[in-house]
Structure 1
Amino acid sequence: MSVTQLNIKESKQVSPKAQVVAFSPAKPTRPIGSMVVEKARRLNATILPPLLTLALLVLAWEILCSSPTSSLPSPSRVLSESWELIIHPFHVGQGVDQGMFWHIAASLQRVALGYALAAIAGIALGVLVGQSQWAMRGLDPIFQILRTVPPLAWLPLSLAAFRDGNPSAIFVIFITAIWPVIINTAVGIRNIPQDYQNVAKVLRLNGFEYFAKIMLPAAAPYIFTGLRIGIGLSWLAIVAAEMLIGGVGIGFFIWDAWNSSLISDIIVALVYVGVVGFLLDRLIAFVGRLVTRGTANA
């Protein structure tokens, strides 16, 4: 048999599927330019609408408050009157004469401590209420009554108990943020599918394993919903509480600026308060997406 005949015979023995795979063209790759353009479009769709809305609001504010008789300053006047405050956020002075960074940092320290305590206690109590019918019947009415008390109504009581402004403000943060964490955690625990519980019984998981592997992952989206609500309420409460307790903090800065008739400084402080509150919410949402693998939507 000649070499040519051998080659023909071997080529006939190759399966049609292998021939298709061997001669199938490579999948076309997307050009880098198109990917960059698509990302730029997504970025524009996310950033441009709020920027345009903000520009329109600032323009309307400038037009409405440009009159010399206006009781509120225009944006251009705010920039001119509070320029030193804006460009020197790290200023260190005597007493409460500090830059905006230090006021916000002091408020964030109080929020971090009070919010952490509320998260730990709220998740623990939420698990208890969600797991036990007796606990739900005994504690839920009390929680529903206490959560309707305004945050600042707790401040005189906390001042009488702690006799110091700083722990009193932390307690106000704690008592404000704990209720949404408890309620959402309890709802998440009660909504765990029965199939998950059946799997835990089949695998004979002990109490700790069931808590760590079944209960927390299943209830995590609800828990982070409560945590996001709690961080927003915490930031609202600390600003109000600091207006009364004094000292370094963004709330007291706003109250001190009001007493000094520095309306432009108040507006600058409010911008800082809004931006920090937005970043705190985004931070908890980001952590929630990481922990729940995207099931806790932003």
Structure 2
Amino acid sequence: MTVNTINRNSRASSTNAIQTFWKKQSKDILPPVLGVLGFLTVWQIFSWSGLTRLPGPLSVWTDQRTRELLLYPFYDKGGIDKGLFWQTMASLGRVAQGYSLAAIVGIATGIFVGTNPLINKALDPVFQFLRMVAPLAWVPIALVALQQNQPAAIFVIFITSVWPILINTTEGVKQIPDDYNNVAKVLQLSRKEYYLNILFPSALPYIFTGLKIAIGLAWLAIIAAEIVMSGIVGIGFFIWDAYQQNYVSEIILAVAYIGAVGLLLDRAMGYLQSRIVPQEKK
């Protein structure tokens, strides 16, 4: 076999590998891309037709103020006059604090309630009642109780996102097979050994389901809370301020930021779940 033949075979193999890769990727990437483009096209056509006063997606670029926000997301002129990157990061910082607190409290309380049937019966109606309260309903209560926007916003995130974590963790603990518990009794496992070897591995898929639901609720809650709270840096208040000044194109751009960040949070949690939860337990 000559050197030229080897090179041709190598190039052919590389070409086939690239083609196979793109065929697989196109099935996953092409449909959502076409769906988004189709949605934006229909939206723009409706805007051009005059059937709605809502600007089309092209207004994000044609409007000078919005174009500057798009091109310069990192500007910081002090106070609340900041680019969308800093507005989004401020909101994400509040989400990180409230969500972390919700995860700690939700998982710990869920395990405690799930391992105590009597307490579960007593508290389940309370949990179900509180989780039905909309995030905006907690805002005035939080402001009255805490007196400041920042802790009030974190509380709203916490109280909104804690329930799916708590309830799913409780359900995961309750669903541990009796055989596992019987084995633990026979082996006389300590509480620590039982938690590490039986409870956590068995309840982990339920816990991650709650965490994944909660991250979306936390992001929605902070947007709603910031819209009501005044004078704070955050993407929610940015939308409210733009609405009051009738900068609709800026609202559209901010909504795009919100959707993109929410999608990234969901995908990140899904990836984390795929790396931690065993495949057979999903």
Name the aligned partner's letter for residue 55 of structure 1.
L
Deviations 1:12-45 (A, max 9, x none): xxxxxxxxxxxxxxxxxxx554443222111111
Higher alpha-carbon Rg: 1
Q: Report whether the alignment pairs 1:146 with 2:124.
A: no
Contact 2:74 2:83 in 1 (8 A): yes
1:98 to 57, 82, 91: 82
What residue number does 1:49 align with? 31
CA contact (8 A) 1:91 1:99 kept: yes
Q: Which residue of 2 aligns with 1:241?
A: 225
Select which of 193, 208, 221 maps to 1:209.
193
Q: Does 1:226 align with 2:210?
A: yes
Compared CA separation, residues 161 and 116, structure 1 to 2 (3 A): same
Identity of aligned residues (%): 47
Structure 1 residue matching 2:279: 3-state secondary structure:
coil
**2:162 match:** 178
CA distance in 2, matches of 1:194, 1:51: 47
SS of 1:230's partner is helix
> Structure 2 vs 1, CA of residues 296 and 175 (structure 1 numbering), >3 Å: closer, same or farther?
farther
Letter in 2 for 1:44: S
Distance 2:243 2:151 in 1: 25
Report whether the alignment pairs 1:75 with 2:57: yes
Is the contact between residue 288 and residue 296 of structure 1 (CA under 8 Å) also seen in structure 2? no
Task: Spell out, residue by residue over 1:138-185, the C-alpha distance to the aligned partner (whole angstroms, 9 max, x if none).
Answer: 111111111111111111111111110000000000000011111111
Q: Distance in 2 between matches of 1:69 and 1:151?
A: 33
TM superposition outliers: structure 1 runs of 4+ over 4 Å: 67-70
Find the aligned partners of 1:149 and 1:55 in 2 and give their Cα distance.
Answer: 36
8 Å Cα contact 2:107-2:165 kept in structure 1: yes
Deviation at 1:293, TM superposition (A): 2.6
Q: Which residue of 2 aligns with 1:8?
A: none
Matched residue type, 2:30: L
- The residue number in structure 1 matching 2:98 is 114
Q: Give the whole-Å Cα distance in 2 for the aligned partners of 1:295 and 1:40.
A: 29
Q: Is the 8 A contact 1:225 1:296 kept in 2?
A: no
Distance 1:70 1:144, change over 3 A: closer
Q: Distance in 1 between matches of 2:67 and 2:84?
A: 12
Structure 1 residue matching 2:79: 3-state secondary structure: coil
Q: C-alpha separation between the residues in 2 aligned to 1:109 and 1:296?
A: 32
Partner of 1:93, secondary structure, is coil
Q: Pick from 53, 59, 65: which aligns with 2:47?
A: 65
Q: Give, in whole Å, the separation in 1 of the partners of 2:127 and 2:58.
A: 48
* One-letter code aligned to 1:53: G
Match of 2:237 in 1: 252
The amino acid that maps onto 1:248 is V
Query: Closer, same or farther in 2 for the Cα pair 1:202/1:46, shift >3 Å?
Result: same
Matching residue of 1:161: 145
Query: Where does residue 180 of structure 2 map in the other structure?
Result: 196
Deviation, structure 1 residue 285: 1.2
By how many angstroms is 1:213 displaced? 1.5
Shift in alpha-carbon separation, 1:219–1:277, aligned structure 2, 3 A: same
Task: Measure the CA separation in 1 of the matches of 2:277 and 2:55.
Answer: 45
* Contact 1:62-1:75 at 8 Å conserved across structures: yes
Q: Residue type matched to 2:263 in 1? A: F
1:116-157 CA distances to partner (integer Å, 9 max, x unpaired)? 000110011111121111110111111111111111111111
SS in 2 for 1:75: coil
Distance 1:162 1:201, change over 3 A: same
Structure 1 unaligned regions, length at least 5? 1-30
Specify the code of the residue in structure 2 equivalent to 1:75. P
Whether 1:293 and 2:278 are equivalent positions in the alignment is yes
Residues in 1 aligned to 2:130 and 2:76: alpha-carbon distance in whole angstroms = 40
- Structure 1 residue 72, shift from structure 2 partner: 1.1
Q: CA deviation at 1:244?
A: 1.3
Instruction: Tell me the SS of whatever aligns to 1:149.
Output: coil
Aligned length: 268
What is the CA–CA distance in structure 2 between the aligned matches of 1:165 and 1:174, rounded to whole Å? 14
Residue aligned with 1:72, SS = coil
